[in-house]
Chain A
Amino acid sequence: MLRTWRQRITFSDVVVWAIGLAIAFMVVYGTIATLRLGKYSPETWLDLVITGLALGGIYALIALGYTLVYGILRMINFAHSEVFMSGPFTAAFLADALVKTGIWDRYPLFSLALVLLLAAVVSATIAFLLERIAYRPLRTAPRLVPLITAIGASFFLQYAFRGLYGSGLKGFPTLDVLEGYWSLGTIQVLKTQVVVIFGALAMMLILFGIVQYTKFGKAMRSVSEDKETAALMGIDVDRTISVTFIMGGVSAGVAGILYVILFPVAHFFMGFIPGIKAFTAAVLGGIGNVPGAFMGGLLLGVLESVGPSLFLDGMGIPAPYQLKDVIAFVILVFILIFRPSGILGERMAQAKA
């Protein structure tokens, strides 16, 4: 067996493995150096981890949208970041109106529900329109074409919203109910962070449940496996795809509101970076895979949060947080070297890679 293994390895494999090992070495070295420095207390580390989980929860929610669409259409919906943005940006105006009429303060949960609803509806509508106008006609085109369309649609939506709502920042009012901390033993967790983490978890479970245990989910999985056969089996493929997009849109809209709960500012560019991060998270966890997207999101969030302090500080690198995206992408490459289909690997339906 060793001989066949030796025969199959090529020079490039060796180099790639060397790169991977170098990354692993640097990570371990940096970690040890930082811990030896003892600059950060355990509370600080815990704080960083929780911050990472909260941010990761949002990435996870957005990643769910990417992964659902990928699973069913085998395409990356680049414009998903704008689907994410459209919900909260529009809902910010509603929130403003609610604050002005005093409803926001008197019935906070009701207001929140209203805002969530509007965001989900707007995001879902944008996602639906996107699919109908830009993606449906291109279902049979070679893979690069819908990808380019998605990129174009992303920019179009970004700047359309910029034109509609203006290029400035739109503040989102905070909820008094969610101000402050909850204490878990010795640590303080921001209430908003808890809401976000649990909200993301809940959404993930709902989506996972739908995909795995409902009839519609079965339809989704079969369309994802083989479109033509599914059509032969009597499944309305067009409708299934549309509803998948709508589901992705709803999860993006919810993610959007959770996002503005954590970071109460909306603007037209707010979807771009989280979109890329979520895309990375989806790939990290294994694209097409709902729990994978969730896991990838959380992992990415924690890495971004803890990584610079843990890996880079010890090596004496100034302003380590400037490099947090570098860490995220390097870890991505690392994982993809040793596990090329992402951490949780398989897709919605176990199709050939």
Chain B
Amino acid sequence: MKKDTSAVWKQAIRTGLIGGSIVLLLALVGIIGTFKGRDIISGWISMGQILFLAPIFLFAYNAARRAEAPSKVGTILVGAISGLMSTSIAAILYLLGQIINLRAMFANASPDLYTMLTFGQGPLLGVIILLLAGVLIGAAGAGVLLLPSRIRKALSQAAIWAILLGLLRELLMVVISRWGVVAYLIRWIFAQNGLAPHGAIVVFLIIGAATYWSAGRKRVAINNLPPQQKKKRLVITLVVSGVVLLVLPLVLGIFFSEILDTVGLYILMGLGLNIVVGFAGLLDLGYVAFYAIGAYTVGVLTSPELGLFHLNYWQAMPFAVVVAVLAGVILGLPVLKMRGDYLAIVTLGFGEIIRILALSDWLKPWLGGSQGIQQIAHPWLWGLELKNQTQLYYMILVGIAIAGFIAWRLKDSRLGRSWMAVREDEDVAQAMGINLVATKLLAFAAGAFFAGLSGTIFATKLTAAYPHSFSLFVSINALSLIIIGGMGSIPGVVVGSLVLMGSPELLREFAEYRYLVYGALLVVMMLIKPEGLWPEARRRLELHEAEELAPGTAAQPAPNNAGQ
């Protein structure tokens, strides 16, 4: 469909302005400044500069794609205009900053930022260069559109890998320090800060070539294989992943074991919350309460500090899990008849109540108050005390295996189907003979079981339980990871946990902007791919139902889930 020229220009300008606003936001929020010190290619380009230029590039690409200009020159022109618009916003910021002291309000509008925006040149020359750079990058962005798709894929993969390697340099250094000769080879591509130029070129070429080659091959879809082969593949995949999981912490070292432990604990919690929210559709915002109850019960029962009990870990754990399940039932009772949003706030309240009670002076003699409970016992297994992260990793792995198995079996069981029926429409489910009370209470109980289990492991890993560890953020983390991973999907929980819990641990600069990126990611994911990164089949159908209907008809609003 041909668009008339003025609309095309307008769209290009608009896209460019949006791209420029994003650059403006990134600059003023301080992300560009923070990443300035981290070089991707040592001496050439830093992550900050990439964050500055990438939106311009990407939005120019987008503008060119939407424009569908007939001629090559036209496409490039569209990109150039978009790029120009983006950098003009940056230029305006710069010029404004020279006139008035923006720093009084925006702490990040610093001289350093201005220097970066103008590439180190003075005011007049810098602005000209800035605008020129915009044109060039915009043109390049559009130009990429003109390349054949294989080359495009190769270029983007190569760029992504180069950036990733540059960002994760320190981590790789720490991990491979145990790998001997391989370490030497890998170390060669890096410089003091980021990739060395020669290393960058090598990586670029290798990944680019690999992608180019693999993009040209034909791939057989897994589902099209005959069942025998499919089963064989499945078994092989499982065995290989099993071996990898068992060997992982030994290969990666204790540093990664720590990250894997955190990810694992959240997977355990996510599996439980997945049942409550994903299967049964009950939005529980106070999930951290059961986590806390599990941890504190183990603490109270095993710590010599309070002088109340002195059990060992294995004796205390079943108690703790039972108490958590009871708490789940007690919480579930008052909220049985509540509608979806009321349920959310009441569960949130419950989470806060538990935290405040754990913190309170009133319960200090039993729960430790603000000082928490320390000296929680480590579990002993056949004479070996499980105390460092690697050992606990295996314990968590076992826990996840058990929990995953239970969740998987529950999903396809009668109870699981009852949950999904309740999620879709309570009234109809009740009419079908499902006991709403029992079903909902069982959902809460199951969720509490997993959270309590996870809490006990958390407590022993830390050998302490502090109320400050059990804030609303934990619930929000768990909720986010199951949503982004894929609601109701068990592999989705793993993916979500890896992405959301793993990345802040890996990128240090990230820590300052963690929740900013979190929030942006949640919004973007919901807008683009709400069924999550590894969706459950039913969910995906449900969410894209409109598109499944006859293409060409206007998207119908999907029937809203009533009565929730």
B104 on interface, CB distance cutoff 8 Å:
yes
CA distance A155 to B520 in the complex (A): 8
B7 on interface, CB distance cutoff 8 Å:
no
Binding site of B, secondary structure by majority: helix, strand, loop or mixed? helix
- CB-CB < 8 A to B360: which residues of A? 319, 322-323
Once the chains bind, are B28 and A164 in contact (CB under 8 Å)?
yes
Once the chains bind, are B341 and A149 in contact (CB under 8 Å)?
no
B25 on interface, CB distance cutoff 8 Å:
yes
Once the chains bind, are A323 and B341 in contact (CB under 8 Å)?
no
One of A41-49, A213-221, A328-336 contacting the partner: A328-336
One of B60-68, B319-327, B553-561 contacting the partner: B553-561
CA distance A337 to B476 in the complex (A): 26
Once the chains bind, are B527 and A326 in contact (CB under 8 Å)?
no
CA distance A164 to B340 in the complex (A): 35
Once the chains bind, are A19 and B334 in contact (CB under 8 Å)?
yes
From residue A328, how far is it (CB to closest CB) to chain B in Å?
A: 8
Once the chains bind, are A76 and B341 in contact (CB under 8 Å)?
yes
Once the chains bind, are B108 and A329 in contact (CB under 8 Å)?
no
Q: Point out the residue from B334, B359, B487 that lies within 8 Å of A333, measured CB to CB.
A: B334
A209 on interface, CB distance cutoff 8 Å:
no
Q: Point out the residue from B28, B352, B487, B562 that lies within 8 Å of A144, measured CB to CB.
A: B487
> How many B residues touch A, CB cutoff 8 Å?
66
Once the chains bind, are A325 and B516 in contact (CB under 8 Å)?
no
One of B150-158, B172-180, B216-224, B342-350 contacting the partner: B342-350
A139 on interface, CB distance cutoff 8 Å:
yes
Q: Point out the residue from A330, A336, A352 that lies within 8 Å of B338, measured CB to CB.
A: A336
Binding site of A, secondary structure by majority: helix, strand, loop or mixed? helix
- CB-CB < 8 A to B353: which residues of A? 325-326, 329-330
CA distance A19 to B108 in the complex (A): 53
From residue A287, how far is it (CB to closest CB) to chain B in Å?
A: 7
> How many A residues touch B, CB cutoff 8 Å?
65
Once the chains bind, are B104 and A93 in contact (CB under 8 Å)?
yes
B234 on interface, CB distance cutoff 8 Å:
no
Once the chains bind, are B349 and A141 in contact (CB under 8 Å)?
no
B125 on interface, CB distance cutoff 8 Å:
no
Most chain B Cβ neighbours within 10 Å, of A76, A139, A164: A164
- CB-CB < 8 A to A156: which residues of B? 515-516, 518-520, 522-523
Once the chains bind, are A326 and B480 in contact (CB under 8 Å)?
no
A163 on interface, CB distance cutoff 8 Å:
yes
A194 on interface, CB distance cutoff 8 Å:
no
The total number of A-B Cβ pairs within 8 Å is 182
- CB-CB < 8 A to B483: which residues of A? 144, 148
- CB-CB < 8 A to B542: which residues of A? 142
Once the chains bind, are B515 and A93 in contact (CB under 8 Å)?
no
- CB-CB < 8 A to B513: which residues of A? 159, 163
B29 to A, closest residue via Cβ: A163
CA distance A353 to B107 in the complex (A): 48
Once the chains bind, are A16 and B333 in contact (CB under 8 Å)?
yes
CA distance A144 to B531 in the complex (A): 11
B245 on interface, CB distance cutoff 8 Å:
no
Q: CB-defined interface of A76-93 with B at 8 Å, one 1/0 digit per residue?
A: 100000000000000001
B72 on interface, CB distance cutoff 8 Å:
no
B11 on interface, CB distance cutoff 8 Å:
no
Q: Point out the residue from B339, B526, B555 that lies within 8 Å of A138, measured CB to CB.
A: B526
One of A27-35, A259-267, A276-284 contacting the partner: A276-284
**Residues in B lying within 8 Å of A, measured CB to CB:** 25, 28-31, 104-108, 277, 281, 283, 333-334, 336-342, 344-346, 348-350, 352-353, 356-357, 359-362, 437, 441, 476, 479-480, 483, 487, 513, 515-516, 518-523, 526-527, 530, 542-543, 546, 555, 557-558, 560-564
**Residues in A lying within 8 Å of B, measured CB to CB:** 10, 12, 15-16, 19-20, 70, 76, 93, 133-134, 137-149, 151-160, 162-166, 228, 276, 279-280, 283, 287, 317-320, 322-323, 325-326, 328-330, 332-333, 336-337, 340-342, 352-353
Of all A-B residue pairs in the complex, the 6 with the closest CB atoms, nearest first, are A152-B522, A163-B29, A156-B519, A329-B349, A155-B519, A159-B516
Identify 6 residue pairs between A and B in the complex whose beta-carbon atoms are under 8 Å apart, listed by A's number. A12-B333, A134-B527, A143-B561, A332-B345, A333-B346, A341-B339
Q: A162-B516, A336-B342 are in contact. List 10 more A-B contacts (CB 8 A).
A: A15-B333, A19-B334, A149-B526, A151-B480, A155-B519, A159-B513, A160-B29, A163-B31, A326-B352, A330-B353
